[in-house]
Amino acid sequence: MNTATRFPSGDARKDNPAVPIRHMDFGFDHAQLKAHFYDDNAFASAFFMAFSAVIPHGERFFIESVRHYRSRLHDPELDARVTGFIGQEAMHGKEHDAVNEAYSRMGYPIGRLDRITHRGLKVLARYLPKAAQLSTTVALEHYTAIISEYMLGSKELQAGFDKQVGDFVLWHMMEETEHKAVAYDVYEKVIGSYALRAGTMIPTTVILIAVLASMQAVLMVSDGTLLNPRLLRQHAKGFGMIYGPRGLFGSVLPHLLDYFKPGFHPNDHDTSELLARFSEKFFGERGELNRNLGKVVVPKVRKAAA
């Protein structure tokens, strides 16, 4: 089943793919997962595990910040994309909860990291103005979009993953690419302040990297790899893969800076070819993830009330 249909907008730059809600079940089993699932590298694996630890509550924060403004959209096409966005993020949260539970059963303190994330985001949800909550979501959705574009396009990076975890991560990245403009378009429609959008990106970046790096360190302490002198070379390699100039963060830096252009839009980066390729690979006629796929709901554009 290929779900790469598109919502026509009449504006080629703003053409948006449909945002289908795919009900997935990867059936994670801790007995079949490897702790160092990325390139047998403790450093890089802990980074991706830390990323997974913050996702379930992070995704719920995104959903609530967008949902808050939904009734003000008065735009049936965008409203349908919001339905898809909420459904996709909810599904990501569910499957990341499942993989996190498997890592917990392997002895990693993911439950503790999940609770810390929950507490931190509850404080933000309570005290941060709603407009700033939405601009934080837009900033983080830009991160997921540029990281996804890089990961979907980098065969070298993909080759480092064990098969099941790699498919899971790339499925998530594919759907992040499908809905990358939804929170942005909601923000532009109901708030639109350039100063708030650009201004939010700076503290968001600092907090994101600090949280991920400290959670990564906690995970590496828990399995005894952080200060193991025999792993120093492996850690240096992992550091380069994630934080180095030619690694994950270094490679997405130019795209990150695009966000500060006043006329920026997430669709400035055409990812339609990447989406078509992964949609076919995972969910085409002989799609590799069809066995993990349940119901698919493509949100319909409802006619506006007269």
**Among the residues of 10-41, which ranges form H helices?**
none
CB-nearest residue to Fe ion: 92
What lies within 8 Å, CB to CB, of 248 at 6+ separation is: 147, 150, 151, 157, 241, 242
Binding site for Fe ion (CB under 5 A): 89, 92, 176
The least CB distance from residue 92 to Fe ion, in Å, is 4
The least CB distance from residue 96 to Fe ion, in Å, is 8
CA atoms within 13 A on the CB side of 303: 2
Beta carbon nearer to Fe ion, 89 or 97: 89
Q: How far apart are CA 261 and CA 198, in angstroms?
A: 9
The least CB distance from residue 258 to Fe ion, in Å, is 18
Q: How far apart are CA 135 and CA 138, in angstroms?
A: 5
Beta carbon nearer to Fe ion, 94 or 281: 94
Nearest to 116 by CA among 168, 65, 56: 56
Beta carbon nearer to Fe ion, 220 or 275: 275
Q: How far apart are CA 220 and CA 227, in angstroms?
A: 8
The least CB distance from residue 56 to Fe ion, in Å, is 10
* Bridge partner list, 161: 38
Looking up tokens 């997962």 gives 33
The least CB distance from residue 7 to Fe ion, in Å, is 17
Beta carbon nearer to Fe ion, 81 or 92: 92
Nearest to 208 by CA among 155, 142, 154, 271: 142
The least CB distance from residue 140 to Fe ion, in Å, is 8
Beta carbon nearer to Fe ion, 43 or 161: 161
Give the sign of the dihedral formed by CA 281, CA 287, CA 293, CA 299.
positive
Beta carbon nearer to Fe ion, 43 or 171: 171
